[in-house]
Every structure is written in C-alpha cells, then in structure tokens.
Amino acid sequence: EAGVAQSPRYKIIEKRQSVAFWCNPISGHATLYWYQQILGQGPKLLIQFQNNGVVDDSQLPKDRFSAERLKGVDSTLKIQPAKLEDSAVYLCASSLDRTSVGIQYFGAGTRLSVL
Amino acid sequence: GDSVTQMEGPVTLSEEAFLTINCTYTATGYPSLFWYVQYPGEGLQLLLKATKADDKGSNKGFEATYRKETTSFHLEKGSVQVSDSAVYFCALSEAKFYFGTGTSLTVIP
C-alpha cells in the first residue's frame, strides 16, 4: 500500500512570496489533515478535511493560509504571502475516518524556510 | 482545553538501558492516547495506542498504560537498541488530535 505522498520535500522562499504544498493521501482514506510543525514543537493541526468538506480549520491563519481538497482526494495548502514565522515543516496525514480512534498516516513533510 | 505534556529531551541512553518517557494529558472527556515515533528523515508513524482507561498499548518492545487516575501515558522499554533512536511524540485524540512537543532519544552503542 502506497503511503501519504507530499511534495516538494523542501522549499526556500523570501517573505511575502507565495508557496503551495501538495498532498496525496492513502487511497480510500476519507480524512485528510494538514499540520504545521515548528522546530522543537509538536505538530499543530491547521485543517482537517472529511472527504472534500472542512471539519476543523480553527487554527488556520485564514488571512494568509488556504487549503482545498477537490474531489475528496489530494489536497493543496497555500501560503500567501509568507512570513518569517511560517518557517516550519508542513505535514500531511490521512486516516480512514475521523473517529477518535482513527490512526493517522503521515507523509514525510515539506520543510519550508522563509528568508 | 485539551493538551499533552511530555518530558523534555534530549535523552541519551546506552544500548540495553531502560527507557521511560513521561507523558501527562489534560482532557475534558475520555480521549484515546497515542505514541508516535519519527525516525530520522521519515514521517511520523504510530507506535502504539490505548483507547480507554487501564488499556496497555504495546509494539516493538515498547509499552504504555492509560492511567486515568494520574492522567498519564508513560512510554517504557526494557532494553533500548541503537535503532530506537528517534523523536517520540505523545498525542491524544478527543474530536481532534493534540501532540506533545516530542522527546528526542539517542541510543549509543
């Protein structure tokens, strides 16, 4: 079974530029998550999708971050414009469902450096 | 709100030493508890889980018991190996996931 795919692995941009990350979850997984992991911290949930609908985006900075999951499969997370404090690893995860015991499968992440 | 607190690292142990990584949680209800592991250069992966009080999760020689009375889920292994070197994250799920800050473990031969 193929895992969660993310691209790119690394991205370096200057502040105020835009950037987009892509995630392809495990086939058949209805729930998709985007996390931000700042160095030395645990992953923080940015947004959670159930199929192509948003379940939770309470911690997404909506003035600059946006995400979509068209057709309920792969997903894109965008930052526009980027700030220095957005430097982090962006993790995508998927699970079969959204129940509390659902196991999440993580991609390797995209490491973003904002200069 | 819900949260997870885990012991700070880094932790350095000799091979075959005993490992304990402490994790305590705060939750309004009855969450499920998890330990995830991140090996160098790889994504997070589930190590073990427990869904209710007194459950013991185990995998690859690691164990953790869901203690409701002390709101804890400490990770233990009796004899660590060099290959266990990784970052370990405690997490809870109650409607959504909350992760601890991670504990880096280095095992030296």
The model's pLDDT over A15-54, given as tens digits with 9 standing for 90+, comes to 999 999 999 999 999 999 999 999 888 899 999 998 889 9
Which of A45, A56, A103 is nearest residue B46 as measured by Cβ atoms? A103
Verify whether the Cβ–Cβ distance A108 to B43 is below 8 Å: yes
At B41, the pLDDT band (50, 70, 90 cuts) reads: confident
Average pLDDT over every residue of B29-47: 91
Contact criterion met (CB < 8 Å) for A42 and B102: yes
For chain B, what is the mean pLDDT?
A: 94
How many pairs of residues across A and B have Cβ atoms under 8 Å apart? 53
Residue B77, C-beta contacts closer than 8 angstroms, at least 6 positions apart: B18, B19, B61, B62, B63, B84
Taking an 8 Å cut-off on Cβ atoms, the answer to whether A108 and B51 are in contact is no
Across the interface, which of A48, A56, A107 has its CB nearest the CB of B43?
A107
pLDDT band at B5 (very low <50, low <70, confident <90, very high): very high
Which DSSP state fits A9? S
Please give the Cα distance from B78 to B62 (Å, whole number).
8
CB of A110 closer than 8 Å to CB of A90: yes
Number of H helices, E strands in chain B: 0, 12
Q: Which of residues 5-64 of A touch B (CB under 8 A)?
A: 33, 40-45, 48, 56
Q: What residues of chain A lie within 8 A of the CB of B4, using their CB? A: 42
pLDDT confidence tier of residue A99, bands split at 50, 70 and 90: low
How far is B68 from chain A, CA to nearest CA, in Å?
Answer: 17
| Pairing status of strand B75-77 against strand B62-65 | antiparallel
Handedness of CA A62, A52, B38, A45 (dihedral sign): positive
